[in-house]
Structure 1
Amino acid sequence: MTRFLLKRFALMALLLFGVSVLIFLLFALMPGDYFSSNRQLTPQRKAELRALNGLDQPLWLRYLGWLWNMLRGEFGYSLAYSRPVTELIGPLLFNSFLVAVAAFILTWLISIVSGVLSATKQYSWFDRLVTIWLFASLSVPSFFVGLLMIKFFAVDLHWLPTGGMLNTGSTSTGIEQVIEIGWHMVLPVAILTFLGVGSLTRYFRSGMLDVLRADFIRTARAKGLAERSVVFGHALRNALLPAITLLGFELPGLFAGAIITEQVFNWPGIGRMQLESVQTRDYAVLMTITMLLAFLTIVGSFIADVLYAVADPRVRLVEARQR
């Protein structure tokens, strides 16, 4: 297992290096920059500012400087906000993680339960409701559902806040502030969960249906095992294997979905910051956020590989034979 982990770590490092090269070239070769969009600057002043920020240097030299600073935890300087990128997106990143992690946990819990029950009760009324739910979550745009939920729960019923992270003029601290933030998280988390549950439940349902028809399930039932033990002890563990491979795309997928969700609910996260940086061509912020999403994808794939090896003994057997 140690050799397996070391190989995956080495592969992660190579992938991150390759992704960093692609991200830097993507933004460095894009036409225009922050200064070119400012019509108040003269061409001479634009050239001076580009030279001051090192934008007139060769690409390879700019990349090495960016990579070295990134390894030291410095992600550049935001020209639009006149602040270091780390100070700018640090608090916003925490806010986005609150919503993304809560939605991630709820998505997997609901998907596992609904997928298992739908497969064990195939063609029942519950299975039909789950199928309708799947098509609805895959078909309806997130911004449309978000606006409907704001209209119904916030404007009409006054049960939940319309947006933001805290109430206007709030001075709450301690546990009161935590409760207030949690209350504001309900709608954004509900939207991300609704969108994520659809596709993931489909994988769990189809995986459970295939496993429940396998020979070893019939053997387990013939031995007299309880149905709950057969479903959760034998079938679910094998049905989890295809879904584990999706883990590498879940976290970055939640952050990508949060870009629209944060805009709809006025949630102060990196999604809104990314949209604003696109408009102002603040490439330092865009490169940092894109690199973060790539890092989450690679780390998620690494976690999926490890979980796959833990869940499937055949992977460990193949790894042992290669030694």
Structure 2
Amino acid sequence: MTRYILKRLAVMVLLLVGVSVLVFFLFALMPGDYYSSNRTLTPERKAELRALAGLDQPVIVQYFIWLGNMLRGQFGYSLVYNRDVTDVLAPLIWNSFIVAFAAFVLTWLIAIVSGVLASVRQYSWFDKLVTVGLFASLSVPSFFIGLLMIKIFALDLQWLPTGGMLDTASSSTGAARVLEIMRHMVLPVAILTFLGAGSLTRYFRTGMLEVLRADFIRTARAKGLKERSVVFSHALRNALLPAITLLAFELPGLFAGAIITEQIFNWPGVGRIQLESVQTRDYAVLMTITMLLAALTVLGSFLADILYAVADPRVRLVRAGSRA
């Protein structure tokens, strides 16, 4: 197991280096930059500022400078905010993370429970209700359901705030501030959970239906095991395998899906600044966010491999690592 993990970590490093090459050169091929899009600067001033930022160097030289700075934890300088990218993104990443993590946990809990119950009670009213909700989750646009929930719960019923992370001119501290943030999180988290739970529930329901018809499930029932033990100890563990492979896409997918959600609810997160950076051509911020999403994808793939081995004892990581 240890040898396999070390090998996977080495592969992760190589993948991230390869991604960094693609990310940097793709952004380098994009026309213009922050200075060229600024109409208030004279051509001489633009050339001077580009030289100070190192943009007049060959692309390959710029890449190694950027890579070396990134390995030292320096992700560049935001020309729009006149601050280091780390200072710009650090609080925003945390804001996006708490929403994404809450939605991630709720999505998996709802998907597991609803998928298992729908498969066990196939063709029942609950299964039909889950199917309707599943198709609604896959077909309704996020911006539409977000605006609809704002109208119902924020404007009509006035139960929740329309957006933001804190109330206007809020000075709350301690537990009161935490509760205030949680209150503002309800709608964004609900949207992300609703959109993510549909596809995941489909995988759990389909996987459970296939496993419940397997021979080893009939054998378990023939031995006199309780139905709860058959479903959760035997069937669910095997039904988790197809869903675990989705973990590599769930982590970055939540941050990517939050781009629209943060715009709708005015949530101060990475998604909003990513859109603003596209408009202003603040490539240092964009490359850092892209590398963050790539790192989350690679990390999700690594965790999926480990969880796959935990859920399926037939997978022999040690033997696989020794063959390699």
Tell me the residue number matched to 1:113.
Answer: 113
Query: Using the alignment, how far apart are the partners of 1:164 and 1:177 within structure 2?
Result: 13
Q: CA-to-partner distance for each residue in 1:248-289, whole Å, 9 max, x for gaps?
A: 000100001100000000000000000000000000000000
Tell me the residue number matched to 2:243.
Answer: 243
Q: Per the alignment, do residues 51 and 270 of structure 1 end up closer, same or farther by CA in structure 2, a change over 3 Å counting?
A: same
* Aligned 1:1-323 pairs, distance under 5 A: 1-316=1-316, 318-319=319-320, 322=323
Q: CA-to-partner distance for each residue in 1:8-59, whole Å, 9 max, x for gaps?
A: 1111011000000000001111101001111111222111111110001111
Q: Root-mean-square deviation (CA), in Å?
A: 1.0
Query: Using the alignment, how far apart are the partners of 2:239 and 2:146 within structure 1?
Result: 32
Instruction: Indicate conservation of the 8 Å contact 2:111/2:197, yes or no.
Output: yes
Q: Which moved more, 1:137-146 or 1:39-48?
A: 39-48
Q: Which residue identity does 1:235 align to in structure 2?
A: A
Query: Using the alignment, how far apart are the partners of 1:285 and 1:181 within structure 2?
Result: 26
TM-score, normalisation: structure 2: 0.98
Q: Give the secondary structure class of the aligned counterpart of 1:95.
A: helix
Query: Using the alignment, how far apart are the partners of 1:257 and 1:49 within structure 2?
Result: 35
Q: CA-to-partner distance for each residue in 1:158-187, whole Å, 9 max, x for gaps?
A: 000000000001000000000000000000
Query: What stretches of structure 2 of length at least 5 have no aligned partner?
Result: none
Q: CA-to-partner distance for each residue in 1:299-318, whole Å, 9 max, x for gaps?
A: 00000001111111221175
Q: Give the secondary structure class of the aligned counterpart of 1:314.
A: coil
Query: Using the alignment, how far apart are the partners of 1:133 and 1:184 within structure 2?
Result: 24
Q: CA-to-partner distance for each residue in 1:190-210, whole Å, 9 max, x for gaps?
A: 000000000000000000000
Q: CA-to-partner distance for each residue in 1:187-238, whole Å, 9 max, x for gaps?
A: 0000000000000000000000000000000000000000000000000000
Query: What stretches of structure 1 of length at least 5 have no aligned partner?
Result: none
Q: Which residue identity does 1:196 align to in structure 2?
A: G
Query: Using the alignment, how far apart are the partners of 2:256 and 2:271 within structure 1?
Result: 7
Matched-pair identity in %: 77
Q: Which residue identity does 2:79 align to in structure 1?
A: L
Q: Give the secondary structure class of the aligned counterpart of 2:180.
A: helix
Q: Which residue identity does 2:3 align to in structure 1?
A: R
TM-score, normalisation: structure 1: 0.98
Compute the displacement of 1:319 (Å).
2.4
Query: Using the alignment, how far apart are the partners of 2:285 and 2:221 within structure 1?
Result: 57
